[in-house]
Amino acid sequence: MHDPIALALAEDLGSGDVTAEFFVERRLGKARLFAKEAAVAAGVETAAEVFRRVDSTTKTTIVRPSGSPLETGDTVLEIEGPLPSLLSAERVALNFLQHLSGIATLTARFVAAVAGTKARILDTRKTVPCLRSLEKAAVLSGGGTNHRMGLYDMAMVKDNHLATGTTPQQLQAAIYRLRSERPGVRVELEADTLVQVAQFLELRDVDVILLDNMPLEALLTAVDMTAKRSPNVLLEASGGVTLETVAAIAGTGVDFISVGALTHSARAIDFSMELLE
């Protein structure tokens, strides 16, 4: 597996930090990373590891771990070590911290918006390349739930798969074959219409039906159909979900709501590093 911290440090440090090397006295110092706005922390442990990777003699103290609510000025991490090392690690550590905390903060807002319903907020595969594991961990820090990690851990049959000419009989045969060869892998089918929902409810061994871009009335009908025909099948709503619409979608009774914006559109949270006396 790739190492996002190693990649980020190689990108930033290259052959070495010439500014720190020539202009900063090599003596011990202390610093803190702190929030400059209210947020939910994520990536704190990753930021700490950045400092340790730059200089193994650096000591880090996590003050507020990932998942902690933050107010303006709250310290999340304290660091002690050679001043050039602290300054060399600063930007990469902050980049991880601000990006991942942005994801956790946005996730927490969606989770709060559906409070009181049974719906759980899911992430998607719409992630920054090579940062998926960290971004999905940030979703968990915000109270969300991870969907599949990749193409390997869940079978998700979408419209383009069905557009290849797969018949219902072929789809059922493929599900049986998957169950036999990979019994731990779940099966999810994407439906664009209620007609497709009805067809999928006739199949066996389906775990989840994804209701893609359906209006509220169709979601309500799909929930009712599923309860009557296949109550063990779970329903996931998806498609253009926003903070303004998510509560109404959750009110239809779906089990999951997937939100690509959690990872592809979260605004970075403002953090800074401050050197201490």
229 to 29, 92, 157, 176, 220: CA distances (angstroms): 66, 52, 21, 20, 14
Q: Give the pLDDT band (50/70/90) at residue 235.
A: very high
The residue behind tokens 């960290």 is 134
Q: Give the pLDDT band (50/70/90) at residue 246.
A: very high
Domains of the chain: 4-111+266-276 (3.90.1170.20), 114-264 (3.20.20.70)
17, 74, 90, 190: the active-site residue: 190
The confidence score (pLDDT) of residue 175 equals 96
How many residues does this entry show for the chain? 277
Is residue 190 among the annotated active site residues?
yes
- Residues 94, 263: Cα–Cα separation, whole Å: 17
In the predicted structure, residue 33 carries a pLDDT above the cut 80? yes
pLDDT tens per residue across span 52-107? 999 999 999 999 999 999 999 999 999 999 999 999 999 999 999 999 999 999 99
126, 179, 207, 270: the active-site residue: 126
The residue behind tokens 């309500």 is 220
The confidence score (pLDDT) of residue 163 equals 83
Over its C-alpha atoms, the chain yields an Rg (Å, rounded) of: 23
Is residue 228 among the annotated active site residues?
no
In the predicted structure, residue 165 carries a pLDDT above the cut 90? no
236 to 25, 47, 149, 181, 249: CA distances (angstroms): 56, 34, 16, 25, 10
Structure tokens at 22: 């020539």
- Residues 71, 82: Cα–Cα separation, whole Å: 29
Burial class (CB in 10 A: 0-12, 13-18, 19+), 19: exposed
pLDDT tens per residue across span 114-162? 999 999 999 999 999 999 999 999 999 999 999 999 999 999 999 888 8
135, 212, 236, 255: the active-site residue: 212
Q: What is the mean pLDDT of residues 14-29?
A: 92
30, 32, 52, 91: the active-site residue: 91
Is residue 91 among the annotated active site residues?
yes
- Residues 48, 5: Cα–Cα separation, whole Å: 11
CB 41 within 8 A of CB 141: yes
Q: Quickly count: other Cβ atoms within 10 Å of residue 109's Cβ.
A: 16
Is residue 126 among the annotated active site residues?
yes
Phi and psi at 28, nearest 5°, equal: -70, 145
pLDDT tens per residue across span 206-226? 999 999 999 999 999 999 999
- Residues 10, 18: Cα–Cα separation, whole Å: 14
Q: Give the pLDDT band (50/70/90) at residue 264.
A: very high
- Residues 135, 139: Cα–Cα separation, whole Å: 6
Q: What is the mean pLDDT of residues 183-211?
A: 96
Is residue 212 among the annotated active site residues?
yes
Average predicted confidence (pLDDT) for the chain: 96
If one compares 25 and 59, the residue with the highest pLDDT of the two is 59
- Nearest to residue 107, comparing CAs of 277, 259, 254? 259
The confidence score (pLDDT) of residue 1 equals 65
Q: Which residues contact 115 (CB under 8 A, 6 or more apart)?
A: none
26, 59, 158, 182: the active-site residue: 158
Task: Report the predicted TM-score, pTM, of the whole model to 2 decimal places.
Answer: 0.96
Instruction: Report the run of H or E that residue 237 belongs to, with start and end.
Output: strand 234-238
